[in-house]
Amino acid sequence: MRGERNQLEQRVKELEDCRATCTDLQERVRSLTDVIAAKDQEIEDLMQALDDEEVQMQGLTFKIKELEKVAEQKNVDLENLEASRGKVMKKLSVTVSKFDELHHLSANLLAEEEKLQSQLQDQDAEISFLRQEVTRCNKRNSDEIHELLTWFDMNIARVVVHNAYLIEVLEIPAEELKNNWAVSGTSIAPQVRSLRRGKMGS
């Protein structure tokens, strides 16, 4: 009887120990469950954060691609500007060269204009002098022509009177006097015409 009691006590003690162990295990399971739940929440938070980071990375990737496109377009624009700048500088160089040529040409033209102006002044002075000379010569020729014509008119009158006297008094044939007068008139007429032309030209 005593042995059975001891066995029962021993069994009870084992059960109590087993209950204590179960309680400990339950506490540990509860604790591990709480830990696992916390870890699951942490993992869920991390996954959410990862999703947010992924969305943010996608947005950044899109922005990076857009910025790369903008940078590429800027590079193209810069290359075009450099090419345009080269053309502008070339045109500017040509323009400066043309300006220098025009400036040099303008200086030459001014010098030529001054030279021509001096020549024109000399020619004007010469023309003025020649006009004075022509006026003086015309006046002298006019006076000489007038004197010659006066002399010629007087001598014609004398010749007419003389011929009339020769015909009436000396009875010289009129035909002979006419021939002599024709010869004399032929030699004098060109000189008279020349003098008349000179007078008319003046």
pLDDT in tens, 143-172: 666 676 677 667 665 655 555 555 444 444
Q: What is the pLDDT of residue 186?
A: 45
Q: What is the pLDDT of residue 98?
A: 87
Task: Write out the two tokens for 89.
Answer: 């500088």
Q: What is the pLDDT of residue 191?
A: 47
**Alpha-carbon span 154 to 190, nearest angstrom:** 19
| pTM for this entry | 0.36
**Alpha-carbon span 165 to 152, nearest angstrom:** 20
Q: What is the pLDDT of residue 64?
A: 93
Closest CA to 196 of 150, 157, 142: 142
- The domain spans of the chain are 2-201
Q: What is the pLDDT of residue 153?
A: 66
- Stretches in the chain below the pLDDT threshold 50: 167-172, 174, 177, 181-189, 191-193, 195-196, 198-202
Contact between residue 141 and residue 195 where contact means Cβ atoms under 8 Å apart: yes
Closest CA to 51 of 69, 3, 43, 72: 43
Contact between residue 182 and residue 129 where contact means Cβ atoms under 8 Å apart: no
